[in-house]
Structure 1
Amino acid sequence: MQSRPHSYLFSISYFGARYKGWAPQPNQPTVQRKVERVLRHVLEHEDFSLIGASRTDSGVSCVGGFVQVFLREKVDMNSLLPDLNEYLPQDIQLNSVQDVPASFNLIQSVSQKTYRYYFTNSRDFHPFASAFLFNIPGELDWEMMKEACKLFTGKHDFKGFCRPSENKTDYVREVLSASISNSREFLGQYFPQEIHFFEITGTGFLHHQVRMMMSAIWQIGKEEMGISEIARRFESPEEFEKLPPAPANGLVLWETLLSNL
């Protein structure tokens, strides 16, 4: 039961390159720790708690996330928003804030999430672009990669496409859509002319799931994996070696949709 009756919902964006993910870790910079530090400074006390809608991994960025903050005393959080952003580092931004009932459960209210993984297939890849996307050199079978995306849609056991946990028994997740598209988000002399993104929307995701799916799609594009292996991994994940996750730098939590608001 939440003992702090006043609750505020922030939308948040951050560039994850400098952080060891969202969640606090001992002696490591994380996004949550930075937000907590600034809240302490602006509110001038520590009597608050917060939760995030997503626990992104080290190096993963976020365009559309949410944070819920609980306080004992009511404040005009809209008036404090400019101060919070002034003291936050420039790679973290609180975009908006609204009052919500303390009974509002952020975690349970997440109805779906969309991730994008940005990559290119370039022969002349500039190091500056590596902050935002990953380069896969060599020939790729784009039609086969797009067909692989279709096979991920629906409800499946994704144990063969995630980092399993000893405490987890349910690996069934529902993917609502998955596709590869051309990107226009990154332009300039240091970026390749052709940039692509793998976009996936689902009701929830497992640890490293999106990055391992991206890795599998690349292997299929390189003809290092047959497309039929996707279905076989759904049926018998223990029969296959663990997939290497795609590097974190290309992954962005693009959108989070909430219900019960």
Structure 2
Amino acid sequence: MKHPNDHYYLITFQYLGFRYHGWQRQPHVKTVQGMVEKTVNYVLKDKPFKVLGAGRTDAMVSVNNSAFQLILREEVSIDKFFKALNENLPPDIKALEISKLSDSDSFNIIQDVAEKEYLYYFTYGEKMHPFCAPFMTYVREELDIEKMSEAATHFEGKHDFQRFCESSDSQDDFVRSITTCVLAENTELKANFFPKKSYVLRVVGKGFLRYQIRYMM
């Protein structure tokens, strides 16, 4: 329930998800939300707050640019809080920007997401360097990239993705719209230990089901 004295902040951030079980807080496992809340609690010295994420992510998924909403009972100095937040977050989580929301009623961080982009990196053939493990998947079998690229385009549009997700008994809506689904050679994410050739499945839509992109891949 909203409180008339609450203050609302929007924080964009990024993280390497290799050691986390996704964004959402869960019992007995390490999550990004849990780590963010632990850090915020330390910075605020146990003052009340609430964190709302823009969406869930699956285990080990990394995020380059996402956002969460921070709700505080007391106003803070943005510059001081932002500096303290980044200084105390672990090295694999970084806050990018912070802004104060002037009208919380006109913004819903979950429902107002305009677009999400998912990049699934992979390679095949010769086994990749172990340092690649946080960034891409290795496939032992020979792959026909041309046929895979053609197949990817068939996911575009509005479809029932029930067979392409990990569903639960309480879920009954499996229809999602994919605006872009392209498989091509990776030309953006680079490192000197990456294989000579790697590939990426790029999927764009407003939202995805649990494990949907992995099943599509």
Please tell me the root mean square deviation across aligned C-alpha atoms, in Å. Answer: 1.3
Matching residue of 2:191: 187
Aligned-pair distance for 1:71? 0.7
| Contact 2:125–2:142 (Cα < 8 Å) also in 1 | no
Equivalent position to 2:139, from 120, 136, 139: 136
Encode CA deviations 1:232-252: one digit per residue, 9 max, x unaligned. xxxxxxxxxxxxxxxxxxxxx
Cα 1:27/1:138, change in 2 over 3 Å? closer
Match runs of 1:80-99 below 5 Å: 80-99=81-100
Q: Does 1:107 align with 2:110?
A: yes
User: Take 1:41 and 1:203, find their aligned partners in 2: how far apart are those partners?
Assistant: 33
In structure 2, stretches of 5+ residues that fail to align are none
Which is richer in helix?
A: 1
User: Take 2:18 and 2:141, find their aligned partners in 1: how far apart are those partners?
Assistant: 26
User: Take 1:195 and 1:144, find their aligned partners in 2: how far apart are those partners?
Assistant: 16
Matching residue of 2:50: 49
Letter in 2 for 1:135: Y
Aligned-pair distance for 1:121? 1.7
| Contact 2:123–2:138 (Cα < 8 Å) also in 1 | yes
Q: Does 1:177 align with 2:201?
A: no
User: Take 2:148 and 2:28, find their aligned partners in 1: how far apart are those partners?
Assistant: 40
Matching residue of 1:70: 71
Matching residue of 1:202: 205
Matching residue of 1:61: 62
Aligned-pair distance for 1:27? 2.3
Aligned-pair distance for 1:40? 1.1
Matching residue of 2:2: 2
Aligned-pair distance for 1:11? 0.4
- SS of corresponding position for 2:111: helix
Matching residue of 1:18: 19
Aligned-pair distance for 1:46? 3.3
In structure 1, stretches of 5+ residues that fail to align are 215-261
Q: Does 1:155 align with 2:158?
A: yes
Encode CA deviations 1:37-72: one digit per residue, 9 max, x unaligned. 111111112300011012112211111110100011
Select between 123-132 and 146-155 the one with higher mean Cα deviation.
123-132
Aligned-pair distance for 1:180? 1.2
**Structure 2 length as normaliser, TM-score?**
0.93
Aligned-pair distance for 1:174? 0.2
**Structure 1 length as normaliser, TM-score?**
0.78
Aligned-pair distance for 1:139? 2.1
